[in-house]
């Protein structure tokens, strides 16, 4: 039996026409993009799906039932294609299926109207049943958007060793917790069972709210020290504050106003107590520590050190905050001495000094990619009491320990140490993470010494400054793959059941190296793998690069077109088109005058937050970020003026000149048209690695988009895609990992055995700091303390130190 073709109302007819037009327009967009993608050697799927949507839309607008049939077939093939290309990866499937699933629901919901309009039986039950199944799938995928989708492998054996009186941590008196720099608290009052009861114990406001327009201003990235019943903290603008560790009340403060307005931050402090017995080196070949003395009870018997952003080393009395008159010039040492032209922000210090026995050791940050003629990256050691310089290690004159004489300066533009260092008392050695020469992207003029020390770990004798060994992680670095973090000292388990004193460190390239502390030789397998050169004239490209294949690579997969992602099929398509338009040859894709992709980019991978390590279970915890950068070099006049050295991502500024070179550079994040990273989530993760097996135990995404701003609007949706991370983690013997330095405003605790989220607390603003933990000698409670001054890429800023503890008994 046939029916009239005019049995639907005019509004229903126009609703079907609208649906058809929208599908046809979507088809035209996908088809046009699909042609672009095919022209670049990419997938044919988007052109074919675009044609199907176009045909489906036209037929639905015309009132033809075949339109829904075409869509249903195209959608079914899309699902098959999605699983074929993406496997069971939720976020990859979501990008490929979800939008088309929503459209399928609408098509099937309205299909009875199309049938009526065509004069056929509407078959409402069957069509609405299919629409209902589609709606259930939509709800399921919507629910899945709010669930973490990290990969889980096996449990780590953490939290199984009880803290004893002999092993209990007393102080957090180093930037990285103790001399091992392992960010591990040997405390278990707060554990997997009790963490649910953690509450804010006190909040302290420093009065220093950092502002960071474009990412190049001031930021709070601080980690406090705790000694006894006192906390010591430096604000971004170099105010040192002493705080009661139990009540959060201020004891003293000392401000050091800075004139620098670019890259302003203070990551931490150093501490020395002259009344403590000195640790004596006991490993073969170690030099003795030079003895010093301060009269018992005299001023500055206990002292706190800070590097200012204006390149001054200051020593303060830990009890009063007064400058130590016996140190340098009334408590200060000018670190610009011998550098030549070093006006801020070309040379500054953002990381804490290292107290190495009785020598306080400093590096320095030289602004990247400003000019060839920049201050040198000299590392220096000063007497911890008098401030007299004991030695200088100039990477351009590595055999000379003296300061420059007769108006000369330290070698210009040498590799520098901007990240925190680690001191090993057992061997009297300072381990330094070394960056690169002044220009990262163009290395034609680098010296043999630049090539030797760039992107390396350098071991120096703390007493003499003499080199013990150097190990390079990148050859002829053209990517800004500095060694960015403080080395962590571990006893590395060997296959025979013994252990070797070792250090482990992560890189911006997503590599983890494990080195023998005495020799600098790798304890896990490292391969020299061939890499391709680019075409910059006279550039001495390295033919191979070291890849740490004996340890897991974190956040640095080799990207393919199938790894491209998007919130909708359209921006995923555009990410595929963009990706196919870049030159990309893997981890070490060299920059050139074309458009190349660096993944991970110069932010990492891993960065200055470092790693935490649980020695009771021999488990290493690593956080990372996954943000690629595209890079384009342009020919320029070599007399062009340099930039201001802010190191903010610079696409909005046009080509930034590399002063003194034939090139300027444009670089920016690898993002979709919606401003979302083009590769699929996670964009930041926390990973646990068993150091006995060198295998990943678990990996979870870190952070949500809740406080991320997109197109000027905060998203508010706690979708755990995993966000870029910049600070560090805290491991505890109670079987927990605390972390805050992501884009949303939470301090989180994870079960360190499984990666399960077991607790979180909302903070007033986000954090880029590293949590610390201690037990108060006054009330016996374990505290977790974190600084919160604002997360990068989120709009809100603050000046908070927040302490959490269990309720009082």
Active site residues: 480
Are the C-beta atoms of 346 and 645 separated by less than 8 Å? yes
Question: Token match 């000698």: residue?
Answer: 777
Three-class DSSP category at 616:
coil
Helix/strand/coil percent split, the chain, to 5: 20, 25, 55
**Rounded to whole angstroms, how far apart are CA atoms 463 and 785?**
34
* CA 759 to each of CA 151, 191, 747, 762, 776: distance values in angstroms, whole numbers, following the listed order: 20, 11, 8, 10, 22
DSSP conformational letter for 371: B
The DSSP line for 638-668 is TTPPP--------GGG-PEE-BTSSEEEEEE
Are the C-beta atoms of 73 and 81 separated by less than 8 Å? no
What is the pairing mode between strands 354-356 and 772-775? unpaired
Helix (H) or strand (E) holding 151: none
**Rounded to whole angstroms, how far apart are CA atoms 606 and 767?**
17
Q: Which two tokens stand for residue 147?
A: 């669930």
Q: Name the residue among 392, 322, 343 with its Cα closest to residue 363.
A: 392
What residues contact 536, with CB distance under 8 A and at least 6 apart? 442, 444, 590, 591, 592, 593, 633, 663
Residue 618 sits at the vertex; the CA angle it makes with 616 and 624, to the nearest 5 degrees, is 120
Q: Which stretches of 44-123 are DSSP H helices?
A: 45-61, 66-86, 90-117
Residue 43 sits at the vertex; the CA angle it makes with 37 and 45, to the nearest 5 degrees, is 105
* CA 87 to each of CA 82, 83, 140: distance values in angstroms, whole numbers, following the listed order: 7, 5, 18
SS (H, E, C) 218-273: ECCCCCCEEECCEEEEECCCCEEEEEECCCCCEEEEEECCCCCCCCECCCCCEEEE
**Rounded to whole angstroms, how far apart are CA atoms 513 and 80?**
41
Are the C-beta atoms of 287 and 461 separated by less than 8 Å? yes
Are the C-beta atoms of 353 and 313 separated by less than 8 Å? yes
Q: Strand ranges (DSSP E) for 92-214?
A: 184-185, 199-205
Are the C-beta atoms of 195 and 658 separated by less than 8 Å? no
Three-class DSSP category at 25:
helix
Three-class DSSP category at 504:
strand
Number of H helices, E strands in the chain: 7, 42
Q: Which two tokens stand for residue 288?
A: 């003795």
Question: Following CA atoms 151, 157, 162, 166 in sequence, which dihedral angle do they give, to the nearest 10 degrees?
Answer: -110
Question: Token match 């680019």: residue?
Answer: 534
**Rounded to whole angstroms, how far apart are CA atoms 30 and 13?**
26
Q: HSE of 9 in the Cβ direction (CA atoms, 13 Å)?
A: 3
């Amino acid at each position: 039996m046939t029916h009239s073709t005019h049995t639907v109302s005019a509004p229903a007819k126009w609703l079907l026409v609208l649906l058809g037009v929208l599908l046809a327009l979507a088809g035209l967009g996908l088809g046009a993009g699909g042609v672009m993608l095919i022209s670049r050697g990419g997938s044919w799927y988007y052109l074919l799906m675009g044609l199907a949507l176009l045909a489906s839309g036209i037929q639905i607008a015309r009132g033809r039932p075949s339109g829904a049939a075409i869509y249903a077939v195209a959608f079914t093939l899309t699902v098959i294609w999605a699983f074929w290309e993406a496997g069971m990866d939720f976020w990859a499937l979501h990008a490929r299926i979800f939008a088309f699933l929503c459209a399928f629901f609408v098509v099937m919901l309205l299909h009875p109207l199309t049938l009526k309009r065509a004069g056929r039986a509407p078959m409402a039950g069957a069509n609405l049943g299919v629409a209902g199944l589609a709606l259930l799938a939509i709800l399921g995928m919507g629910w899945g958007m709010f669930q973490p989708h990290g990969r889980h492998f096996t449990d780590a054996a953490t939290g199984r060793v009880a803290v004893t009186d002999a092993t209990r941590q007393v102080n957090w008196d180093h930037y990285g917790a103790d001399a091992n720099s392992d960010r591990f608290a040997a405390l278990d009052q707060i554990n997997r069972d009790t963490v649910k009861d953690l509450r804010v114990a006190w909040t302290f406001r420093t009065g220093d709210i950092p502002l960071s327009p474009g990412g190049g201003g001031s930021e709070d990235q601080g980690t406090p020290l705790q000694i006894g019943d006192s906390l010591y903290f430096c604000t971004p603008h170099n105010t040192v504050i002493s705080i009661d560790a139990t009540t959060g009340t201020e004891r003293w403060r000392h401000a050091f106003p800075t004139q620098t307005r670019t890259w302003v931050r203070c990551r931490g402090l150093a501490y020395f107590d002259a009344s403590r017995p000195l640790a004596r080196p006991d490993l073969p070949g170690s030099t003795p520590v030079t003895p010093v003395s301060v009269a018992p009870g005299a001023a500055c018997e206990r002292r706190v050190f800070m590097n200012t952003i204006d390149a001054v080393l200051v020593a303060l009395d830990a009890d009063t905050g007064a400058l130590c008159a016996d140190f340098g010039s009334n408590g200060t040492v000018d670190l610009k001495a011998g550098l030549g032209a070093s006006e801020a922000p070309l040379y500054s210090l953002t990381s804490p000094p290292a107290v190495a026995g009785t020598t306080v050791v400093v590096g320095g940050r030289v602004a990247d990619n400003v000019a060839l003629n920049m201050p040198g990256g000299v590392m220096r050691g000063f007497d911890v009491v008098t401030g007299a310089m004991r030695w200088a290690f100039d990477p351009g004159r590595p055999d000379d320990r003296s300061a420059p004489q007769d108006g000369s300066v330290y070698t210009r533009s040498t590799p520098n140490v901007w990240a925190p260092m680690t001191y090993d008392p057992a061997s009297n050695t300072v381990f330094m993470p070394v960056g690169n020469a002044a220009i990262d992207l163009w290395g034609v003029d680098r010296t043999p010494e630049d090539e030797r020390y760039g992107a390396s770990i350098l071991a120096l004798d703390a007493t003499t400054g003499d080199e013990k060994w150097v190990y390079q992680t990148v050859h002829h670095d053209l990517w800004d793959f500095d060694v960015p973090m403080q080395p962590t000292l571990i006893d590395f388990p060997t296959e025979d059941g013994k252990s070797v004193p070792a250090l482990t460190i992560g890189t911006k390239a997503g590599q983890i190296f494990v080195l023998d502390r005495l020799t600098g030789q790798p304890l896990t397998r490292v391969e020299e793998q061939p890499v391709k050169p680019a075409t910059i004239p006279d550039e001495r490209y390295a033919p191979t690069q070291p890849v740490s294949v004996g340890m897991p690579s974190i956040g640095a997969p080799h990207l393919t077109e199938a790894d491209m992602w998007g919130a909708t099929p359209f921006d995923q398509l555009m990410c595929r088109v963009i990706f196919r338009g870049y030159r990309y040859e893997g981890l070490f894709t060299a920059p050139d005058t074309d458009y190349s992709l660096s993944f991970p980019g110069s932010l990492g991978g891993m960065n200055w937050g470092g790693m935490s390590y649980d020695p009771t279970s021999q488990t290493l915890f690593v956080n990372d970020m996954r943000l690629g950068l595209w890079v384009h070099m342009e020919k320029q006049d070599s007399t062009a003026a340099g930039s201001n050295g802010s190191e903010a991502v610079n696409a909005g500024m046009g080509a930034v000149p590399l002063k003194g070179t034939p090139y300027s550079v444009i670089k920016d994040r690898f993002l979709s048209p919606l401003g979302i990273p083009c590769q699929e989530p996670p964009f930041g993760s926390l990973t646990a690695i068993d150091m006995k097996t060198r295998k990943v135990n678990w990996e979870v995404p870190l952070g949500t988009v809740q406080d991320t701003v997109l197109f000027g609007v905060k998203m508010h949706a706690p979708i755990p895609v995993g966000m870029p991370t910049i600070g560090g983690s805290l491991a505890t013997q109670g079987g927990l990992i605390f972390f805050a330095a992501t884009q949303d405003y939470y301090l989180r605790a994870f079960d360190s055995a499984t990666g399960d989220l077991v607790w979180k607390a909302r903070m007033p603003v986000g954090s880029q700091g590293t949590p610390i933990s201690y037990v108060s000698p006054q009330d016996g409670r374990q505290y977790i303390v974190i600084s919160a001054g604002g997360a990068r890429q989120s709009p809100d800023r603050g000046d908070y130190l927040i302490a959490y503890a269990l309720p009082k008994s």
